[in-house]
Structure 1
């Protein structure tokens, strides 16, 4: 797709270890995730990302049961698709994400607070770049780290986006950064342009839009970023059992290719 990354997120149902786990077998969850990943690949998405999005309340760091379940799911997705695979774990469990990605052969991990401090539903969330770096070194992993600058489900103490980018890249060692604005994709694109113009983010560093992308604003995302991460817009419902809607996925994949033509 001419370098543009179109990433579809699989919001998994509650996993073992979650307070709201409903007892669904992990093998069943993994099979469904693999089916949905194949839909995204057929629709032209360049990447798929697995996330324990339905674990509620979502912890900042997850336990062993969640890590094990995500590894099983990731392995099933990896075995049945050839597109890029990413992992996002808990509210900010970068080290577990790296471990899972290394085990299943994923190519990137999304870390919501790699550097700095944010206030989230669980309280303070501190950057985990040191722990991420240690885990990568321990495993000999070259998995990419995609760092959110101002993640949408928490409030960063610093509102300076250029500072956040510099810390994530220079201090945290991020390979790519993610910009998300609750006010919409147009504002995210404006932020990306400002980061590029100021030199805060070099031209060779990918910048992705982390959410709020849909059919009506996809052209803006394609024109102003290196990729977009799509989650809820792809689902066929709002419940824990919601799946990837093939028609929606195909429509968005076709639209992205059309805007790049």
Structure 2
């Protein structure tokens, strides 16, 4: 496991319990409703503190409600995410991550480096996928170049065949190997629409190939599957499961978040 991603006060087992802040539409988005960035930042900081109090070990900021979402974003989104992300970093003691657009790894690295965040999630680091926006090409070179240009040690969490697009070629084993070896990913994210059990089986299979990397379940984890996820994976990323409603930009539900946080206690005992 990657020691730099552990938080000693909240992460005694090394398991990464990551809560995602799905922000309201940001300025520059087609569906922006006029909410000021300052107000979004206040809300995000409050929700981040709620996740930290619930026992989450990591928080991630995402422009998930900008619809239709661009593969690569432009200046207004970068500026808004920087302001919001900085507010979150200042509000919590746990590591903070950034995910930008559908696949804007370079902007995510730049924002994370500027605000003092710890990691970024890149959905298509290597290979080619097809999604609602069309072709989505890997951005491993651009991510590596941005890290080098800034002298950044921001961690890269790379999806293995991420769930919102379809990989055009290559098995999960190939995708994981390329993300790790060619894309220089620090953590691999595995998600299966068919369920958490299948994602965990994939992780078992990838470990069997002697691939040395932490594996995080990227979604679909619920209260009924969090225990087995803690037992078999190195982390879980939770978004909709910890929200007050099904709205794309719903707020964090502290009670539900605390129920997930308690799942780490038996493992730590």
TM above 0.5 = yes
1:41 paired to 2:49: no
CA deviations on 1:235-255 (whole Å, 9 max, x unpaired) are 101235520001001111012
| Alpha-carbon separation, structure 2, partners of 1:127 and 1:94 | 9
Aligned to 1:116: 127
| TM score, norm. by length of structure 2 | 0.94
Local SS of the residue matching 1:172? coil
Q: Tell me which of 150, 153, 164 is aligned to 1:139.
A: 150
- Give the distance between the partners of 1:133 and 1:242, measured in 2 at CA: 33
Q: Which residue of 1 aligns with 2:205?
A: 194
Query: Which residue is equivalent to 2:14?
Result: 3
CA shift, 1:227, in A, is 0.3
- The C-alpha deviation readout for 1:197-223, integer Å capped at 9, x for no partner, is 122x22xx1110000001000011111
Distance 2:266 2:28 in 1: 42
Report the Cα distance in structure 1 between the residues aligned to 2:162 and 2:86, rounded to whole angstroms. 27
Q: 1:179 to 1:257 in 2, by over 3 A?
A: same
Is the CA contact 1:14–1:240 (under 8 Å) kept in the aligned structure 2?
no
Judged with a 3 Å threshold, the aligned counterparts in structure 2 of structure 1 residues 157 and 260 are, in CA distance, closer, same or farther, namely farther
Secondary structure (helix, strand or coil) at the match of 2:46 reads: helix
Unpaired runs of 5+ residues, structure 2, are: 1-10
SS at structure 2 position matched to 1:87: strand
Cα RMSD, aligned residues only: 0.9
Paired residue total:
258
1:92 partner SS: coil
Give distance in 2, aligned partners of 1:12 and 1:233: 15
